[in-house]
Amino acid sequence: MRPEDQVQFETEIEETRRVKQLKDKFLDSFFKEKEEQIFELFRNIPIGSADDLVNAHHQLKSLNALQIEVQTVMNTGKMAEMSLQQGLDKADK
C-alpha cells in the first residue's frame, strides 16, 4: 500500500470516528426531534395551504439530505477501514 493511501484511509477513519461521536451524542436525538416536529407540522397544515405544505416538504428534504450526508461519511469510514486492513494484511504477507 502506498503511504499516501494509508494516510488518506487513516484520515477518513478519524473523520468517521468524530462524526460517529457527534451522531451518538447529538445528531440522533436532533434528527428524531426534527422528524417529529416536521410530521406534526404536516398533520396540522390546513387543507389548501400549499405554501405551508411546500415549506414542510423543504424542511423534510433538508433533514433527509443531512442524514444522508452523515451516513455517507460513516460508510466512507467503514470502507476506508476495510481497505486499510486489506492493505496492511497484504503488506504482512
In a domain, 50, yes or no: yes
* Position 1 pLDDT exceeds 90: no
Grid look-up 455517507 returns 72
Number of structural domains (the chain) is 1
- Tell me the average pLDDT across 11-37: 95
Percentage with pLDDT > 90 across the chain: 81
Q: What is the DSSP letter of 23?
A: I
Grid look-up 486492513 returns 85
Q: What is the pLDDT of residue 3?
A: 86
In a domain, 70, yes or no: yes
* Position 8 pLDDT exceeds 90: yes
31-65 confidence digits (pLDDT tens): 999 999 999 999 999 989 999 999 999 999 999 99
- Report d(CA 37, CA 45) in Å as an integer: 12
In a domain, 25, yes or no: yes
Q: What is the pLDDT of residue 28?
A: 95
Residue ranges making up the domain that contains 78: 6-92
- Report d(CA 18, CA 53) in Å as an integer: 35
